[in-house]
A and B are shown apart, each in its own frame.
Chain A
Amino acid sequence: MVDLTSNLAGITSPNPFWLASAPPTNSAYQVMKAFDCGWGGAVWKTIGEPIVNVSSRYSSVNYKNFRMMGLNNIELITDRSLADNLRELREVKKHYPKHALVASLMVESKRETWHTYVKQVEDCGVDGLELNFGCPHGMSERGMGSAVGQVPDYACQITEWVKEVARTPVIVKLTPNISNIVYPGLAAQKGKADAVSLINTINSITGIDLDTFEPRPKVRGHSSHGGYCGPAVKPIALNLVAALTSHPEFKLPVSGIGGIETWQDAVEFMLLGATNVQVCTAVMHYGFRIVDGLISGLTEWMQAKGFEKLADFRGKTIGRIKDWGDLDLNYKIVASIDRGKCIGCQVCYIACEDGAHQSIALSGDPKDRVPKVLEDVCVGCNLCSLVCPVDGCITMKEVDNGRPSVSWRQYQAKLAAGPAAAH
């Protein structure tokens, strides 16, 4: 039997799938429905001094025929009153005691203000707090959100203030709009946070109307840079998670966020060390119902792999992300085209010919459209196998070149030891 329960720094939930703090967690109406649908937890839409939102708030990037490969928003924190939010948090917790309910907070950088808010939401019975140091627009101009997340000392300071009064675990939500995620991550740790969550949205301009020259989303002819999320940002999020989880000094549990839509996405975050995951865009696109597929896919996969609990596979990939200088320079693969599967589109040919290393040849006979890999010049870059439209048609085969494994670092060391040692 597979056990999906998750425990993030003491916050337990029946499964690792949480709703990220965003429009899907705006109200008790939504969160209660989400829990009924099967979501394990929810981080409430960020609470703070009430704000006013603009109309026209989202815009997106489509890829070919797929909608919303990436989503951008210029929305701020909750625009509902504090009283409403507090009342609804209390109601949700009362009816759904086993689900994780986390309050997200963003307030002005004053110790007393943070203290007041922490006490108020904790009095509603929430299971934890998430400090939103990530929102990249609007709030940052008021000295909040990513304005805090981008300065490690502020992040540490505010975390400390919160920890002075918090009775529940404190998660710090990190912004990806930094040069090195390790600094704010370590700052949160230094401020005694119990966990971090990442990523919040990425600064972006999603598009421009070519007829009117207005940027999107349009607010009376103008726009503002917004926060980018959705499937397009997953690779960036994975990299930032890995940067923290593979850092020797970083010890906090991680809640993974960014572009998660399928169970595979979630597993990838967990293989890189995430304890649980949070989802926003995929729910904004398809609704709460997607959690069924997430749970089923994860369960099936764990069963097939013989994993009983999430911890059995958490972090399994961390050790495999190395510095480039530690990779084996003598590992050699070449492309191999399965003649039986090839449909003759010759896209691999032109990709390699124009875009890579001129290592694929055409037969010269228009009737034989299966290209040939020139193995002696193929550098094993993978490009052809990536562009090939047929699954499993182009595979990369290892070549035994009889050379011992040597990394760049080792090679440099040999060079330093003198020419004799290098040969």
Chain B
Amino acid sequence: MGIANPAIPLSPEQIAKNLADIAPAMLAEEAYAEASRCLFCYDAPCTRACPTSINVPEFIKRIAARNIVGAATTILDANLMGASCARACPTEVLCEGACVYNHEKAPPIQIGRLQRFATDPVVLSGKMVLSMAPPNGKKVAVVGSGPGGLAAAGELRRLGYAVTVYEAKDQPGGLNTFGIAPYKLTNADALAEAEYVRKMGVEFVLNTRVGKDISIDKVNDDYAAVVIAIGLGATAPLGITGESIDGVVGATEFIEQVRRDPAKVTVGKRVVVVGAGNTAIDAATEAKRLGADQVTILYRRSEKEKPCYEYEYMLAKKDGVVFQWLTAPVQVQAQRGAVSGLKCVKMKLGKPDASGRPAPEPIAGSEFNFACDMVIKSTGQQKLIELYRQVKGLVERGGKVQVNESMQTGNPKWFAVGDCVSGGKEVVNAAADGKRAAYGIHRMLFGDAAVPVRKPGPRLEKPAPHPPMPF
């Protein structure tokens, strides 16, 4: 990357320190103490808040009873991506946000960290704990090995399918390996999770892009069903002049480089990140942690409308990232072929737009130059529409694949899960989708009866209240 004014490179030790776990693994004593705080709520709000409905009180109770393998079994049975979710989930808006302790102004149970405590010894060591049905003779293909694809593949395997995962990249894991901030999820851990699914009996075909290296028709013909789990594509362009200048990079592309080898990434002394979503925050904090002196996030709306989570916002502020609200980029400035600044315009908030948020409007004559050495665009990812178009009957709307409640697309044989359906949510949503798709396929191929539901046995009436004493 041609950056005119690069930050002073950090030593490998410093990089390792800067990118180390922000929520480190719990020590046993800490985990047991925390687990014993759990109230074991009935119909627990944390379980309801989890997109994969992990029986949280049950796994925590198992931890408290020193049954770690049992705890991991509870988690993985509901969510095969339990180990990465434990690290990546925005728990403050999910399970931990729902913990009843919040109503008591007491700190919620650290569910994410407990989940990691339970799953690490099982997933990272490849210990098989889940029940598996015998082979049922059917083959399913999964396109993409992100959390959505891995969850679908693993669950299909558990249901007895022979599963092949096609992955365009050289390594499995999707954004778990190449997207999530490294201080949340390490490459080794992300790969160990994919390896866990492989060990369950799923076949992986890497470096193979479906629709290019292998045709849609072939996949369609060779398998009883297909799960599309391709996520999203490259960062969308800003649509301003100068975007192709050296030193302008997309956030997901920048982060992928950080994940591949942070020591090889050059960041500018002064970095501007355009956008204030969670990805923008990640790009900003990662740039800062790789040595940038000054990282500024530009956002065209105000602080109130920022799309990132509060937790991420605080993280960026703690890292010293500066926020420049009501500011939009107009043009990238260059000197000798490299970024030298970003011409910006001040914005004001107008009437609500289609999203319901106030529409930002440029203030005429307020343009100014923001001197910087690197621009990271974080304005959303493009949709991988080329692939959808090749699948007969598949309907997409605004680049999102349309599915029914079983994640089945307009082509009954083709299912879709994860970001390519949602337009970009979280790891846990992709995992939930993957499981739903697996069961959808199972019902399609073997009928509703193939997915047994536990029915309650007979009951007598509840006893009537005791009659009053006869005096």
By a beta-carbon cutoff of 8 Å, the part of chain A in contact with chain B is 64-65, 329-330, 343-347, 349-350, 358, 362, 366, 369, 376-377, 379, 389-390, 401, 403-404, 406, 411, 414, 422-423
| Contact between chains at A343 and B104 (CB < 8 Å) | yes
A345 vs B42: C-alpha distance when bound (angstroms):
6
State whether B462 touches A403 (Cβ < 8 A): no
Residues of A within 8 A of B42 (CB): 345-347, 349-350
Q: What's the least CB distance linking B457 to chain A, in Å?
A: 15
- The residues in B between 77 and 109 inclusive whose CB is less than 8 angstroms from any CB of A are 100-101, 103-104
C-alpha spacing A377/B470, complex, angstroms: 17
Whether A347 touches B469, Cβ cut-off 8 Å, given contacts A64-B64, A65-B32, A366-B48, is no
- Asked if residues B43 and A362 are in contact (CB atoms below 8 Å), the reply is yes
Are A379 and B100 interface neighbours, CB within 8 A?
Answer: no
Those of B25-57 within 8 Å (CB) of chain A: 32-33, 36, 39-43, 45, 48
Given A346-B43, A358-B462, 18 extra CB contacts under 8 A: A64-B36, A64-B64, A65-B32, A330-B471, A343-B100, A343-B104, A344-B41, A344-B45, A344-B100, A345-B42, A346-B42, A347-B40, A347-B41, A347-B42, A366-B43, A369-B45, A379-B465, A403-B469
Q: Identify which of A344, A379, A406 contacts B466 (C-beta below 8 A).
A: A379
CB <8 Å contact, B471 and A347: no
A406/B471 in contact, CB under 8 A: yes
Among A358, A377, A389, A390, the one with the most B-chain Cβ atoms within 10 Å of its Cβ is A389
Closest Cβ of chain A: how far from B10's Cβ, in Å? 41
Bound CA–CA A403/B41 (angstroms): 38
Closest chain-B Cβ to A63's Cβ sits at a distance in Å of 9
Q: How far is B469's CA from A126's CA once the two chains are assembled, in angstroms?
A: 59
Q: Is the CB of B469 within 8 A of A345?
A: no
Query: Which 3 interchain pairs have the tightest Cβ spacing?
Result: A64-B36, A346-B42, A343-B103
Q: Is the CB of A344 within 8 A of B103?
A: yes
CB distance from A371 to the nearest CB of B (A): 9
Per the bound structure, the CA–CA distance linking A376 and B32 in Å amounts to: 41
Give A401 to B45 CA distance when docked, in angstroms. 38
Complex Cα distance, B42 from A346, in Å, reads: 5
Q: A239 to chain B: closest CB distance in Å?
A: 28
Q: A422, B470: Cβ atoms under 8 Å?
A: yes
Q: How far is the CB of B96 from chain A (nearest CB, A)?
A: 14
A407–chain B nearest beta-carbon distance, Å: 11
Q: How far is the CA of A366 from the CA of B471 in the complex (A)?
A: 43
Inter-chain CA distance A413–B468, complex, in Å, is 18
Give the one of B100, B470, B471 with max A CB within 10 A: B471
Q: Across the interface, name the chain B residue whose C-beta is closest to A63.
A: B36
A330:B40 contact, CB within 8 angstroms: no
Q: Are A390 and B104 in contact (CB under 8 A)?
A: yes
Contact with A along B429-469 (1 / 0, CB 8 A): 00000000000000000000000000000000011011011
Among A369, A403, A404, A422, chain B packs the most CB atoms within 10 A around the CB of A369
Cα separation A210 to B463 with both chains bound (whole Å) = 41
Please name all residues of chain A whose beta carbon is closer than 8 Å to the beta carbon of B100 when the two chains form the complex. 343-345, 369
Contacts of B470 on A, CB cut-off 8 Å?
A: 422-423
The answer to whether A414 and B36 have CB atoms under 8 Å apart is no
Looking across the interface, which residue of chain B has its beta carbon closest to that of A354?
Answer: B42
CA separation between A423 and B471, bound complex, in Å? 5
With both chains docked as a complex, state the minimum distance between the C-beta of B196 and any C-beta of chain A, in angstroms: 28
| B462–A345 touching, CB < 8 Å | no
Kindly state the separation between the CA atoms of A32 and B416 in the bound complex, as whole angstroms. 78
Q: In the assembly, what is the distance between CA of A185 and CA of B466, in Å? A: 41
Residues in A whose Cβ lies below 8 Å from that of B39: 345, 347, 389
* Interface size counted on chain B using CB atoms at 8 A: 23
Q: Is the CB of A414 within 8 A of B465?
A: no
Known: A366-B48, A376-B465, A379-B466. A345 touches B471 (CB 8 A): no
Q: Which residues of B contact A377 (CB under 8 A)?
A: 465
Alpha-carbon separation in the docked complex, A404 to B466 (Å): 18
- In the assembly, what is the distance between CA of A422 and CA of B470, in Å? 8
Chain A residues in 8 Å Cβ range of B471: 330, 403-404, 406, 411, 414, 422-423
Rounded to whole angstroms, the CA-CA distance of A1 and B466 in the bound complex is 52
C-alpha spacing A389/B103, complex, angstroms:
12
CB neighbours of A389 from chain B (8 A): 39
Residues of B95-152 whose CB lies within 8 A of A: 100-101, 103-104
- A65, A376, A403: the one contacting B33 at CB < 8 Å is A65
A362 to chain B, nearest CB (A): 7
Q: Which residues of chain B have C-beta atoms less than 8 A from A349's C-beta?
A: 42
A406 to B103, CA, bound (A): 43
Give complex CA distance A404, B470 in Å: 12
Give the nearest-CB partner of A414 in chain B.
B471
Give chain B nearest CB distance to A376 CB in angstroms. 7
Chain A residues with CB below 8 A from B41, complex form: 344-347
**Residues in chain A near residue B48, CB distance under 8 A:** 366
* Minimum C-beta distance from A338 to chain B (A): 12
Bound CA span A343–B469, Å: 36
In the complex, chain A residues whose CB is within 8 Å of the CB of B462? 358
Question: In the assembly, what is the distance between CA of A411 and CA of B103, in Å?
Answer: 47
Please measure, in the bound complex, the distance between the C-alpha atom of A73 and the C-alpha atom of B182, giving whole angstroms.
Answer: 51
Q: Which residues of A contact B469 (CB under 8 A)?
A: 329-330, 403, 406, 411
When chains A and B are docked, how far (Å) is the Cα of A330 from the Cα of B471? 9
Q: Considering the chains assembled together, what is the distance between the CA atoms of A349 and B45 in angstroms?
A: 14
* CB neighbours of B468 from chain A (8 A): 401, 403
- Per the bound structure, the CA–CA distance linking A65 and B42 in Å amounts to 22
Chain A residues with CB under 8 A of B40: 347
Max count, chain B CB within 10 A of own CB: residue among A343, A350, A362, A403: A343
Q: Nearest Cβ in chain B — how far from A103, in angstroms?
A: 42
Q: What are the residues of chain B within 8 A of A401 when measuring CB–CB? A: 468
Question: CB-nearest residue of chain A relative to B471?
Answer: A406
Contact A65 B101 (CB under 8 A): no
Residues of B within 8 A of A390 (CB): 104
Most buried by B among A377, A401, A406, A423: A377
With both beta carbons as reference points, the residue of chain B lying nearest to A379 in the complex is identified as: B466
CB distance from B368 to the nearest CB of A (A): 48
Distance in angstroms between the alpha carbons of A358 and B468 in the assembled complex: 18
Q: Which residues of B contact A350 (CB under 8 A)?
A: 42
A389 to B38, CA, bound (A): 10
9 pairs across A/B with beta carbons < 8 Å? Answer: A65-B33, A343-B103, A344-B41, A346-B41, A379-B465, A389-B39, A404-B471, A422-B470, A422-B471
**Smallest CB gap from A359: residue in B:** B465
- B36 to chain A: which residues have CB within 8 Å? 64-65
Contacts of A404 in B (CB 8 A): 471
Q: Smallest distance from the beta carbon of A21 to chain B beta carbons, Å?
A: 34
Bound-complex Cα distance A202 to B468 (A): 41
In the docked arrangement, what's the CA distance between A280 and B349, Å?
A: 71
Contact residues of B between 222 and 278, Cβ < 8 Å to A: none
Q: How far is the CA of A376 from the CA of B462 in the complex (A)?
A: 14
Which B residues lie within 8 Å of A376 (CB)?
465
Question: Once the chains are docked, how many angstroms separate the CA of A377 from the CA of B466?
Answer: 8
B459 → chain A, closest Cβ, in Å?
Answer: 12
Q: Look across to chain B and name the residue whose beta carbon is closest to the beta carbon of A408.
A: B469
Once the chains are docked, how many angstroms separate the CA of A299 from the CA of B104? 32
A362 to B43, CA, bound (A): 10
Least Cβ distance of A377 to chain B in Å? 5
Residue on A nearest B103 in the bound complex, by CB? A343
CA of A345 to CA of B41, assembled, Å: 5
Smallest Cβ distance from A33 to chain B, in angstroms?
A: 31
Complex Cα distance, B465 from A376, in Å, reads 8
* Docked complex Cα distance between A141 and B470 (Å): 55
* In the complex, residue of chain A having the shortest beta-carbon distance to the beta carbon of B464: A377
Which chain B positions have C-beta within 8 A of A379? Answer: 465-466
Which of chain A's residues have a CB closer than 8 A to the CB of B104? 343, 390
Point out which of B39, B41, B42, B104 has the most chain A C-beta atoms below 10 A from its C-beta: B42
Q: Nearest chain A CB to B28's CB is how many angstroms away?
A: 12
